[in-house]
Chains A and B, each alone.
Chain A
Amino acid sequence: GNSVTQMEGPVTLSEEAFLTINCTYTATGYPSLFWYVQYPGEGLQLLLKATKADDKGSNKGFEATYRKETTSFHLEKGSVQVSDSAVYFCALSDRDGGYNKLIFGAGTRLAVHP
């Protein structure tokens, strides 16, 4: 079946450091790919998405490129801030019957220190 694998956390960085969170997927067909962010005590917020190969999603300085050849969708940010501390989930949208089912990775906790 379809699945998503994320790098294990926690990831601990100093402010202004470069961030990469790896995400790879296994899927049949051509799923859409998403990054969601969850701040403490809150629900998930859509961070960015890509719907086809070579698409680049970007938002709030984060970006990720849909790489079909490597089945990857790595999240990057050039300079992280303390306010980016959260849990990040990579997900793919799996067409299951008549609806789109999200398959989540396990999540990666990011802690950014001043």
Chain B
Amino acid sequence: DAMVIQNPRYQVTQFGKPVTLSCSQTLNHNVMYWYQQKSSQAPKLLFHYYDKDFNNEADTPDNFQSRRPNTSFCFLDIRSPGLGDAAMYLCATSREGGGAGNQPQHFGDGTRLSIL
């Protein structure tokens, strides 16, 4: 089945130690998104790639970076994680170009990040 896969499901890192989360997709979608979701809150968009074009949300901290080496893979890098970065990180994909506003986003199961 075509899907969005996130690895690992659970990640533990130390305060200040860089960490990378990964996302892959078999949907061949041209847009990939990264969201941060804290407990009992809605997902918050961090940034997205439209093909190779990177688009950062205005309030995303500089501590968060992303890479998209090809259509299928996208990475979230947290350079110096703080305690406040503990959250669920969700990757999503969508296909753009089929008409304004009618393309749903498809989500992975997320990576839950803990900071020691």
Contacts and interface: CB of A to CB of B under 8 A. Distances in A.
Interface of A: 30-32, 34, 36, 41-46, 49, 51, 89, 93-95, 97-102, 104-107, 109
Interface of B: 4, 6, 31, 40-43, 45, 48, 50, 55, 90, 92, 94, 96, 100-110, 112
Contacts of A107: 40-42
B99 to A, nearest CB: 8
A95 to B, nearest CB: 5
A44 B90 contact: yes
18 contacts: A32-B101, A36-B107, A41-B112, A42-B110, A43-B4, A43-B110, A44-B90, A45-B107, A46-B106, A51-B102, A95-B101, A100-B100, A102-B105, A104-B43, A105-B42, A106-B42, A107-B42, A109-B40
Given A42-B109, A43-B109, A98 B45 contact: no
Main secondary structure of the interface of A (DSSP, over half): strand
Given A101-B45, A104-B43, A106-B41, A93 B101 contact: yes
A45 B107 CA distance: 7
B103 A44 contact: no
A36 B105 CA distance: 10
